[in-house]
Every structure is written in structure tokens, then in C-alpha cells.
Chains A and B, each alone.
Chain A
């Protein structure tokens, strides 16, 4: 079976771009499974968060799936188009990744020693 994932991509300040990918799947597979296949087979730079993969324990893969806030690891892939977008009420970082950590668990850049040209690429 084939699913089409229409994924909103980009970084803050840029006009978002929707890119569509086709992914073949077995019944029962999740949207997160599909996204991981896309990274391996089509575009390794596609950014989304996940940790526990399948257990619905880490809550990191929350995103907008067909317009509804949901976990990519629990929503199943379906035939036809599924739209994926970053969480609307959180600051965008890249593609489907938003800033979801509580403010007091984020790096306060000013309080750390950061090499001048610390950016890595």
C-alpha cells in the first residue's frame, strides 16, 4: 500500500514549503514509521523529533497530523494523502520540530561559554 505524506518544511522566517513524499507501507504501520523510512530512503535531512519510537512514552513526536495535534507514533499510515505540519502554538525550529521543552529546561545561551564561531556548519 502507498501513503502520501505532505510535509510542511522550513525554518522560522522562511515561507514554509510543502513537500510530498510517497511511502509504501504495511497495514498497521505508524506515521512515525513512515517518516523514518523517508529519512532512510528519500531525504535524510527531514527533521522531526522522536525518542521512544513506538511506546507512546516520550511524547516527543507530537505534531499536526491532518490538522489535528497528535502523536506520529500512534497515528497509522493510510492510503492517500496525510498532511503533516509542526505544532502551531510552539516556536518552530525546523520542519516538524518545534520548541517543546519547558522554558526552564532550555539552554540559556548567555550563561554558557560558547565558542565565537560555535555554529557547526
Chain B
């Protein structure tokens, strides 16, 4: 949405397509709390401090140009959202900034606990409603980028409502499809986060970077079952009230792992990657909670304080049978964000001319681990930059659209058949189980090879021809197109994970614990070349893999 607004502002005529309702189908509307930017309103700050924290969290792998862009341009975007009346929380006439783990000072703005994402979406939607240059179309799932002479000239989409193939001619295309956490069974994602954009980019000839780094959010809700509340909602509670992580023996354990990291503050002891590690290791050692995680306890916080901080939420929790003052909840790591993504230059352009990317679809800015609050800032900053760059290209490029450019994808959609095939919805579940077990936060050569084997089998079973069951709103066809993307993207995670024989940030190899700064302070790049997945590091081709 930010890219569309900025492209329109730069004079382009824009089509904003979304496979769901506009601005409701992805992560942004689900985001809970923090947006990081060195505004310096709470305490003096400078974007270079934010950059230093971002680079430290990224454990040596951040693309410094992109990280600097996020940190330098972030404050401007936060203030722009402020002028669009998002309603950032204020105190004593200044925007309030909270401290979050890994940040060296209070830096994160928010609207209200649990409602920052909805406010971001609403504000951008309202701006779009008032814009005449952006045509918004929901229920339009982009299936492939249309290419002419290696340049992006539009896209082919499935119009979900009618089941028709729709072609869109464009002088520039921006991929803003969010992340891939739907590849994992336990995820905080929406159903649209199966990594469509990464697959679109790969098939169009673009490269991906840092794909092995999938961020697991350590304290995703596990038990008892919550309904109508987001599984990662516990973060704001910890920000505001503290909250003890206890193992199955009701003992605090974060301190046992804290020597691995100096970046601690009062409420959080460990950054996300280390907290994920600590919880998983406690469970592995037989010291987990009954459902297989850790306890998160607020029993040391007086009831009135809990209610003062989270009144309405406390009632919703009560409806879910949870009384925080009396009972700890169970939490465990949950796939949450993807550090990797489409490789872009500082104009947010991929190596395919005319193809841009923004938001979580972009890789590189956060290296091996993202700081909390950086993702929404990234979505604003990259959105604005990509929108601007795409508009510039559109205004200075001749129309190169040909119907042939869309032909392969149109043919693919037309080839969809009612055929005897496995249940695609069940295959999605299988893929998620496979990735969670074999390519989760802790991997080994053996588990990753099993992942490769499992993906191979699933790819064979699913086949190349899409399956259909009906005209118009056909969930079988959607699942089979999703699997086409998810299987490709899963390989793009597994192959570089197999190659990286060290542990760094969100990529932890059981068989290679610890950083290997000598060999692995490098990024890995994934490309699709004649149906083969290539993994490259520092310009060297590591291995060419037949895409399965």
C-alpha cells in the first residue's frame, strides 16, 4: 500500500492487486506493537545508533545499504504516518518510544498494545481510498510475472471470484507479497504468507538472498487454546509488565543462556534467536511444559497492574479461560518472519529490469536475525522507495507489453484439470510438517537431507499440472498454485541451509554449533537457472540442484 501511494505521488498510474481484501490479507494488519525508528523523542537518538543495533543483531550478514536505508529513512516514514493521523501513542507532547530487545534505547513507537498493525493498515487504506491514481483490486492472485526480452512487463493473475485468467500490462512491477512463514506448521502467519513473491521473483529470473534465515518468535502462544487472538500477543505483555519464562520445573532459565549474548535489558534477557534456542533446548532436555514449550508467568505482577495495563485484553483472555494473575500460559517458538528474500539494489530493483520488491519480500536488510520493530519500518521505507523507483521507470519507459509475455502463465491456468490427485490441502499440511521438523530453527545435515527427500516426494505427488474442482472461488486450484510456490520456496530455504555449515542467528545447525567467521561471514544467493536451483556465495557457485 505504501509503494502504491508513493508511485502514485510520483505520477504513475497504479494497479494494486491483492489475493485477499486489500490491506487485510497479510502480516501488517496482524502486527502487534512496535515500529522501530530513531526519532529521538523519548531519549536522544540518531539513525546511526539504530543502524549499529540492526547490524549487531544481523550477526555480520546485513546488507548495509539496505539496513542504512531502513534506519535513515525510518523516522521520516513514521512522521509521515503521523501526519496521516495514525495516532502514535504520545506522552508529555511527544511520541512515546518503548524499549525492545536488542535496541540500545527506547526506540519503538506504537499505537496501542495489540493494535498497531490494524492502525497502520487502516491509515494506508484511508489514504488509498482518497487517491485517484491507484486502482485497487482484491481477490486477484498473481500467478507469474510477465516477461518480454528478460524484462518485467506485467503479470498474470487468477481472478479468484470468477476463476478467470487475467493479464495485466505494466511498465514496472513491484512485488509486495510479504513473507513465507506459512511454510511451517506453527506460524503466526496469514494463509497468504506461503512465499508467493519469492517464487514469482525466482521464476522471473531474480535472485533471493539469505533464505536460510527464518525467524522464529520464541514465545508464540501454545496452550491453552486461544481463539480470536494472535499467537504472538505475549510480546507487548512482556514489554509492559515483564514476564518470567519458566521451564517445566518452574525455574527461570534465560540466565543460563544469557552468557551467549550481552545485549540484555531489564525485561528481556535474550534476543529472539537465543530465546528460541533456550526454550527448545529446555524442551529437548526434558524440562518443557506439558504441551512442549515453556511457561510464561505473570503471577509476580499484581492483578491490578495487569488490569491497568491490559484491561480489555484481560477480559478477552478470561473468555479464553486464562487468568494471568493466577496461571502461567505455555509458549513455544513459532515461525514469524523471514530475514531472507528477494535480492534488490538500493533502488529496490531486482536483477530483472522493471521488477522491484519491497517489505518482507525483500531480503538482506536484517542479515541473520531481525530486531523487533524493524519489519514495519522496512515495509514503509522499502515500500516508498520501490514505489518511487517503479514510477520513475514507468514514466520513462516505452510500453513493451505483448500477450505472449503472459502466455506461459495463462496456459498453466488453462491446463488446470479435475484430476485424480492427492488432497492439496492435506499436502500443504504435510509440507508444513516437513519443514517444521526437518528445517526449523535447528537443523542438521541429516534433517535437511530428509527435508530434500520429502520435498522431492511431495513435488512428484503434486505434479506440474494444477488441479481444479470448480469455476470461481476454487480452493483446490488455489491450494495447488500455492503448493507450486511453496515447494519452490521451501527448496530455496533448505538448499542454502544445507550449505551453511555453521550456526548464526536464526540458522542453527546441530552438527555445526557456533559461528564460523572465517568461512561463513558471507551471504548466500539463490537463483533458478533452467529449472535448477543454484546456491552461490561470494560469486562462487556452491551447487546446482535440479529444482524438484
| A residues at B contact (CB < 8 Å) | 11, 26-30, 36, 39-41, 44-47, 50-60, 71, 73-74, 76, 93-95, 97, 99-101, 104-107, 109, 112-115, 117-121
The 0/1 profile, CB within 8 Å of A marked 1, for residues 462-492 of chain B is 0000101111111111010000000000000
Least distance between A37 CB and chain B CB atoms (Å): 9
Q: Kindly state the separation between the CA atoms of A120 and B468 in the bound complex, as whole angstroms.
A: 8
Q: Which of A55, A115, A117 contacts B229 (CB 8 A)?
A: A55
Quick check: is B228 within 8 A (CB to CB) of the other chain?
Answer: yes
B176 within 8 Å of A (CB atoms)? no
Of the listed stretches B20-28, B437-445, B516-524, name the one at the interface; the rest are far from the partner chain. Answer: B20-28
A94 contacts which chain B residues (CB < 8 A)? 470, 472-474
Residue in B closest to A27 when the chains form the complex, CB atoms: B225
Asked whether, in the complex, the Cβ of A107 is within 8 Å of the Cβ of B140, the reply is yes
Chain B residues whose C-beta falls within 8 Å of the C-beta of A52 in the assembled complex: 24-25, 29-30, 190-191, 230
In the complex, given contacts A55-B30, A106-B139, what are 7 additional A-B residue pairs having Cβ atoms less than 8 angstroms apart? A28-B224, A30-B228, A46-B475, A47-B470, A71-B228, A100-B21, A115-B410
CA distance A52 to B224 in the complex (A): 19
Residue of B with least CB distance to A48: B475
Tell me if A54 and B224 are in contact (CB < 8 A).
no
With A106-B139, A107-B139 already in contact, the answer to whether A120 and B471 are too (CB < 8 A) is yes
| A120 CA / B166 CA spacing, docked (Å) | 11
Binding site for A on B (CB under 8 A): 20-22, 24-26, 29-30, 117-118, 136-140, 158-159, 161-169, 189-192, 224-231, 320-321, 403, 410, 413-414, 416-418, 423-426, 429, 466, 468-477, 479
Q: Check B475–A47 contact: CB distance below 8 A.
A: yes
B474–A45 contact, CB under 8 A? yes
Kindly name the residue among A28, A44, A100, A112 whose own CB sees the greatest number of chain B CB atoms within 10 A.
A44
Instruction: Give the CA-CA distance A115 to B409 in the complex, in Å.
Output: 12
13 pairs from A and B in contact (CB 8 Å cutoff): A28-B224, A29-B225, A40-B423, A46-B475, A51-B24, A94-B470, A95-B473, A99-B161, A113-B403, A119-B471, A120-B471, A121-B471, A121-B474
Contact partners of A44 in chain B: CB under 8 A: 423-426, 469, 475-476, 479
Hey, which chain A residues are within 8 Å of B158, CB to CB?
A: 120
Residues of B within 8 A of A28 (CB): 224-227, 320-321
| Assembly CA distance A50 to B160 (angstroms) | 13
**Which residue, A29, A59, A115, A121, has most C-beta atoms of chain B within 10 A?**
A121
Also in contact, A58 and B25, with CB within 8 A (given A44-B475, A121-B418): yes
> Which residue on B lies nearest to A71, using beta carbons?
B228
**Once the chains bind, are B163 and A121 in contact (CB under 8 Å)?**
yes
**Which residue in A11, A30, A107, A113 is a CB contact (below 8 Å) of B159?**
A107
Q: Are B164 and A57 in contact (CB under 8 A)?
A: no
Residues in A neighbouring B227, C-beta threshold 8 A: 28-30, 54, 73-74, 76
B139 touches A120 (CB 8 A): no
B425 contacts A106, C-beta separation under 8 Å? no
| Chain B residue at minimal CB-CB distance from A36 | B425
- The residue in chain A whose Cβ has the minimal distance to the Cβ of B20 is A51
Query: Which residue among B30, B320, B429 has the maximum number of chain A CB atoms within 10 Å of its CB?
Result: B30
* Bound: A46/B475 CA distance, A: 7
- Give the distance in Å from the alpha carbon of A47 to the alpha carbon of B474 in the complex: 7
Nearest first, the 9 A-B pairs at minimum CB distance are: A28-B225, A74-B228, A118-B164, A45-B469, A121-B468, A55-B230, A56-B228, A94-B473, A51-B25
List residues of chain B with CB within 8 A of the CB of A118: 164-166, 410
CB B228 to nearest CB in A, in angstroms, measures: 4
Which residues does chain A contribute within 8 Å of B161, judged by CB atoms? Answer: 93, 99, 106-107
Nearest-CB residue, chain B, relative to A39: B425
What residues of chain A lie closer than 8 Å to B138, measured between beta carbons? Answer: 101, 105-106
